[in-house]
Structure 1
Amino acid sequence: MDSKNYHEDLSHIRSMMERSSRFISLSGLSGVFAGLAALIGAGYVYFIFQREGIDYLDGDRNFFGPALVRELVLVGTVILLTAVLSGYIFTANKSKKKGQKIWDSTTKRLLLTFAVPLVTGGVFCLALLFHHLFVWVAPATLIFYGIALVSAERYTLTDIKYLGYCQIILGLISIFFLGWGLIFWTIGFGILHIVYGLIMHKKYK
């Protein structure tokens, strides 16, 4: 009996230590919503291609001019802001239900660890756009985003690193298929996010 209580106490202490060192209220639904936003954005981008007379799937005109790229960057920015806002809302609601603070020292460390590779990748992508190396943007965003997820795993759910690994691998594969960034971007930010979000929602609901 004493041995059983001893193990229960250890489990309780371990759980408290994990809660103090990890932000564990990330919502799986935020991943689903982010994925849906990415799919809607990809559909809109395809509409833009059709409007410009570009048959994207034909593969003959997968290299675009600066004006079109600027419009695509604007669409991507809107999708990013939508995903971030929805992620905050879903996560805040989950934290509130669990009686946990959404903003503490652990959250700050999480954001810092996540932001360093993400901001680095963002600056790198801006440099690619500046030099008109547009076809490299999609692989770069996937790779740096994946690195950011793997880095953030230290302060949140360990499962997030697997999403990061998938993003990195997908980004590396896309390097060998330059000009097809929309397809890989849709898979990475759309489909993978939805699959990951559904798994996490079922696992931690």
Structure 2
Amino acid sequence: MNQKHQEDLSHIRSMMERSSRFISLSGLSGVFAGLSALIGGLYVYQLLKANGLDTFDDGDRLYSFHLVSELIVIGLVILMSALTFGVFFTLRKSKKHNLPIWTTASKNLLFNLAVPLLAGGIFCLALLYHEIYVLIAPTTLIFYGLALVNAEKYTFSDVKYLGFCELVLGFISLFYLGYGLIFWILGFGILHIIYGLVMFRKYK
């Protein structure tokens, strides 16, 4: 009898979790997003090197309009690649486990992610406008970390740990501006891959 009550409680707890949290996120999304960022970051490193720019120089750098445009395009390609993988693996997991996609939890998740990301995006546009390129990498890490911590209550709680790690990297990189690209690769590339593998193994 007690075992039946425990099973009923487990079932109720599972139903409540599904209704309040978006649990269709796949660890593979993080892995492939990380790979996209890693490849893109290494390409940017080679691009800067080819243009005679020292990646580890925290002083003022002269960027041509063409180079800045190319870097923006690379950033957008990395973002679109990460989003594409995220949508693909999320849809695949939802279909496999017969979970709904567009729910109150998923709407809350997207909203809580979007607000800090939108604020960070506008801040980065301002940095581009004023040609303060050296602060862009730390800014993206910090606002992304804030977005993850802010959205954690609507998905797996493990997401907040990734968010805190992104925040720490962003804060540290503020004091080592010449190494912004390295911190960016660590945060969006390596950390995402590690996080994705852990999540895939834990929630597969």
> Mean Cα displacement is larger for which, 61-70 or 8-17?
61-70
Change (3 A) 1:53 1:119: same
Whether the aligned pair in 2 keeps the contact of 1:163 and 1:196 (CA below 8 Å) is: yes
Instruction: Determine the structure 2 residue equivalent to 1:189.
Output: 188
Of 57, 63, 72, the match for 2:61: 63
Instruction: Determine the structure 2 residue equivalent to 1:149.
Output: 148
Instruction: Determine the structure 2 residue equivalent to 1:107.
Output: 106
Distance between the aligned counterparts of 1:62 and 1:24, measured in 2?
Answer: 45
Distance between the aligned counterparts of 2:20 and 2:58, measured in 1?
Answer: 51
Instruction: Determine the structure 2 residue equivalent to 1:132.
Output: 131
Whether the aligned pair in 1 keeps the contact of 2:58 and 2:134 (CA below 8 Å) is: no
Length-normalised TM-score, structure 1? 0.94
Instruction: Determine the structure 2 residue equivalent to 1:13.
Output: 12
Distance between the aligned counterparts of 2:105 and 2:58, measured in 1?
Answer: 49
Opposite residue 147 of structure 1, the aligned amino acid is: L
> How far apart are 1:60 and its partner, in Å?
7.7
Whether the aligned pair in 2 keeps the contact of 1:69 and 1:134 (CA below 8 Å) is: no
> How far apart are 1:51 and its partner, in Å?
2.0
Change (3 A) 1:107 1:60: closer
Length-normalised TM-score, structure 2? 0.94
Change (3 A) 1:176 1:117: same
> Gaps spanning 5+ residues in structure 1: where?
none
Change (3 A) 1:34 1:52: same
1:20-99 correspondence to structure 2 within 5 Å: 20-56=19-55, 59=57, 63-67=61-65, 68-99=67-98
Report the secondary structure of 2:144's partner residue. Answer: helix
> How far apart are 1:137 and its partner, in Å?
0.8
> Gaps spanning 5+ residues in structure 2: where?
none
Q: How many positions carry a matched residue from both structures?
A: 203
Report the secondary structure of 1:157's partner residue. Answer: coil
Structure 1 segments, 4+ long, off by >4 Å, are none
Whether the aligned pair in 2 keeps the contact of 1:26 and 1:91 (CA below 8 Å) is: yes
**Percent of pairs identical after alignment?**
60
Distance between the aligned counterparts of 1:164 and 1:54, measured in 2?
Answer: 31
Distance between the aligned counterparts of 2:188 and 2:68, measured in 1?
Answer: 19
Opposite residue 63 of structure 1, the aligned amino acid is: R
RMSD in angstroms over aligned alpha carbons? Answer: 1.5
Whether the aligned pair in 1 keeps the contact of 2:30 and 2:192 (CA below 8 Å) is: yes
> How far apart are 1:66 and its partner, in Å?
5.0
1:117 aligns with 2:121: no
Opposite residue 144 of structure 2, the aligned amino acid is: Y
> Mean Cα displacement is larger for which, 127-136 or 61-70?
61-70
Distance between the aligned counterparts of 2:16 and 2:131, measured in 1?
Answer: 48
Whether the aligned pair in 2 keeps the contact of 1:63 and 1:179 (CA below 8 Å) is: no
> How far apart are 1:84 and its partner, in Å?
0.5
Opposite residue 178 of structure 1, the aligned amino acid is: L
Distance between the aligned counterparts of 1:152 and 1:89, measured in 2?
Answer: 20
